[in-house]
Structure 1
């Protein structure tokens, strides 16, 4: 017997359940400003200072996923993700922050509430959630980035640092990571996939991302 959702993948169902917040993020001022090559320099600097500090949290999140993964193949892939974060994204932030001459004390500046909420919210899911919940949370974040960055990368920004950041999220390694996360979710049995819980997490992450990117404009 088939159900209305039996022909849909789990990831497609998650996306359909979050159309409003997904579109809000895809049409966010930050995204549109990059696509139209008009992102204010101060907004990008703020964003970098926030996102650069979040990379450590992202490594912790994937570390929790690594510990909770149930097969050696999954653990092996997640080790690769951690390697990419440490060898691609960390150097990008170190290089860019140095080039922009941000003061060494920027790490000590209190984060806006929306940025702190994003950081703590994502870490809480990873620390206290199941393997499945961690995977769903990262799918929401990385699928969102991969989608708009692929679009923006077709018309590269004039700012070389913005251009490089977008390209990092539109290149095959990152997009392959998004596909791996989707394949993980889509491969779960109906019993393993808790749609209600997964949908709640998927929507929560996108809402946190919206507020996080809004914080780049200050105020």
Structure 2
């Protein structure tokens, strides 16, 4: 029997965490279009800050990429982050018009994701980076594809969901999946990478829950 790809095995090892992430309050309320405007505005502030972290991770991945195709893929992702996503945040935060109230507890919760992501990069190098990025991006793809079935009546939310259901985002998820599946895993290394994916998913849950902290 052919072994499942590494990406599938890492997700299976974190099935309960993954399911919990797909059912977290933020995901449910975006899908139901019941999320409070203030909570979504706080999330936008947090997510805009994390885009900078994701860009730094992509830059680190460019430097450590094992070959030309990998380098090109991460460079493309970096470009998309600092163009399409920057443009989205510039427009939507301008439309909001006011900076939402963000307390210290909320900011601390949101910052956990950056702390975990950068720790993973420092501790595990290229394998950790691609597993962490794959976890985050695949999580978004799954819940946004589901949420897009019933689009929000609020343009900012609908557009955010749509960003994660079309190109270039979909190709980026598949690129990261391929990078994970190409990793050479030493004995015992798979359990380490499963832990990496689990840490990233747990941090994503804390990050999104922070949007509801006043």
1:112 aligns with 2:117: no
Q: How does 1:151-170 map to 2 (within 5 A)?
A: 151-170=146-165
What stretches of structure 2 of length at least 5 have no aligned partner? none
Q: 1:44 aligns with which of 40, 50, 70?
A: 40
Secondary structure of 1:172's counterpart equals coil
Match for residue 137 of structure 1? Answer: 132
Structure 1 CA distance for aligned equivalents of residues 144 and 122 of structure 2: 28
Query: Which deviations, in whole Å up to 9, do the C-alpha atoms of 1:6-29 show, x marking residues without a partner?
Result: 521111111111011101110111
Does structure 2 retain, via aligned residues, the 8 Å contact 1:146–1:175? yes
What stretches of structure 1 of length at least 5 have no aligned partner? none
Query: Which deviations, in whole Å up to 9, do the C-alpha atoms of 1:91-134 show, x marking residues without a partner?
Result: 1001111110134xx7x975622212111111222244221111
Deviates further, 176-185 or 137-146: 176-185
Does structure 2 retain, via aligned residues, the 8 Å contact 1:37–1:158? yes
Runs of 4+ deviating beyond 4 Å? 108-111
Q: 1:11 aligns with which of 4, 7, 15?
A: 7
How many pairs are equivalent? 213
Does structure 1 retain, via aligned residues, the 8 Å contact 2:103–2:213? no
Q: Tell me how large the CA RMSD over aligned residues is.
A: 2.0
Match for residue 76 of structure 1? Answer: 72
Match for residue 173 of structure 2? Answer: 178
Query: Which deviations, in whole Å up to 9, do the C-alpha atoms of 1:189-214 show, x marking residues without a partner?
Result: 45489211100000000000001100
Q: 2:92 aligns with which of 67, 89, 96?
A: 96
1:208 aligns with 2:203: yes
Secondary structure of 2:168's counterpart equals helix
The TM-score, its normalising length taken from structure 1, stands at: 0.91
Structure 2 CA distance for aligned equivalents of residues 178 and 131 of structure 1: 16
The TM-score, its normalising length taken from structure 2, stands at: 0.93
Structure 2 CA distance for aligned equivalents of residues 58 and 109 of structure 1: 23
Does structure 2 retain, via aligned residues, the 8 Å contact 1:114–1:212? yes
